[in-house]
Structure 1
Amino acid sequence: MTATPSTGDHDDRDTVEEALRVLRIEADALHRLARELPADFAAAVDLILQARGRVVVSGVGKSGHVGRKIAATLASTGTPAQFVHATEASHGDMGMIGCDDVCLLLSNSGETGELNDLVAYSRRFRVPLIAISSRPTSTLMRAADLRLTLPDAPEACAIGMAPTTSTTLALALGDALAVALMRRRAFTPDHFRVFHPGGRLGARVATVAQLMRTGAALPLVGHETPMDETLLVMTSKSLGLAIVVEEGRLAGVISDGDLRRNMAGLLERRAGDIASLTPATVGADQLAAEALALMTERKITALPVVEGDGQVVGVVHVQDCLNAGLA
């Protein structure tokens, strides 16, 4: 049966107030979850860390949707995980679950019948079972090795029946598990980029070393290099600068701005005569986003990349950052 929308007058203030009521209820529930974190939470993190296999997540209905998101978040943050549909598990997909895995089952009531086969399988083959439910005495929770009990909070929907607050709590608890596991695994931005090689997420954690130009692409000149030769180097490398080095170490940078400021008698001078001696630089292990921010702040288009002793190892250009998706 489809509900018929009211055609009468409505007050936008009532609509806004209803939205605020929902958000307050769910926010209060999250605060309560933070105050009453399940006693088995730390043990659940330890169990997952010790597992040699994957975290197999399952649930039905709205819990299934939340479970898919939890599995995806775990997998993208360093914890191997996959979602298995409970019904499909009963028709052959149980073979996806190995003895080295950990099962994470979600059911707000803890009495979801479709999970029974998964529970029985985990008990038969001694696959560790972590349960997330709002009812600590439910069938699912009694069968589990570890129990992540959600607070008994009211659903935010107007009739108190549609999963709203409960799914928000389960989703937040899944995020808490994933982030705690990240911390224990010492998960770094480099790891994150490996799991997110495409798109803006990958670009945001790209390092300067991954984008910088090196070797023959570097516009290197010596302190005594004549300016006519220096101009040829700048033109051929197309980076808008020349890097003045002494024994491979940074001694200065010549930018287009430096050329404009020294036009009088330019070709009679040496590179070291007009170079800026204290240029901005970045390290190879810095985030490319930091390099882009520095170039934007200084209104420049390229930065020398140096190691701790001042050795020039590369150049990062603003266009390289933009091409990587950092705009």
Structure 2
Amino acid sequence: MEQPHHKSEVFLSVLLGFSGLSHLHPLLFVVLLSLYVLTLVANTVIAVTINTDATLHTPMYFFLTQLSCLDICYLSAMIPTILENLMVGTVSISKTRCAIQMFSFLFFGVAECFLLAAMSLDRYSAVCHPLHYTVLMSSRVCSSLVAASYICGAAVGLVHTLITFSSPLCGSAIDHFFCEIQPLLDLLCGNTFPRELQVILVAVFAILSPFLLVLYSYIHIISTILHMASAESQQKAFSTCSSHLLVVTLFYGTAGSVYLRPKSTYCAAVDKFLSLSYSVLTPLLNPIIYSLRNKEVKGALKKKWRKIHLVWK
């Protein structure tokens, strides 16, 4: 007897996306396209400014450049499909394109999880061990941390993508706006418990572990700040730490609430909202929180703007 999943070998799936909000599609399209362009421009300007200003060639700004590049790639892995979805309604997507999208999303997303942890270690070293900072965060250490972030991202992306797309699929309608793991679990044939467990275990490694490292770093940073003599330096450091922690908690919190739970609690509407939070909102907030509130970056941007203004005159 023919198995129900045979046709999934040529798997042309349908992304349902925002099918329940068809009347809002034009508005959502304009909002998302505007946010996408704004985020691309902000991250590109920051990456170019840091790379072309010699005074910003320090570990912190090296990580910020990497974060900007990651955010551009992370957004570009999903937003075009979401915009297509909003323009034409449901979108047909091939198995290959779906697999590439899932891998790209996981690769850049997990790399960002570990990069944010590396950035918190950098701040921890700068605030808590200033005398040893140049040794602790040498260019070799920084490059190794970034490389490790990308390796972890590639490993998680490959594991999830290969296992998901080598499993038999008993459906073709993905109730999401891109190829996300949780809605694809709904399409797997038979007992999905081993796959659910794998997703949760990988999420503990890729989301919870870096988040705990960030918390550990900031607890020590805040403790050090409290022992500073100057109230002004305390206030400045607290302002920076609180904004960093806010955006980091939003990113890890929304991603964790999707991946660190069993499939039985999956709710398409809620998870679509959470996915938008960590895939669209965080890349937009990162340049604002980490760079545009930073005096040195603002100074470099003003300097760059004055040069451009003189050239055009």
Question: Which has the higher relative contact order, 1 or 2, with Cα contacts under 8 A spaced 6 or more apart?
Answer: 2
TM bucket, shorter chain: under 0.3
Bigger fraction of residues in strand = 1
**Bigger CA radius of gyration:** 1
How does the TM-score come out when normalised to structure 1? 0.21
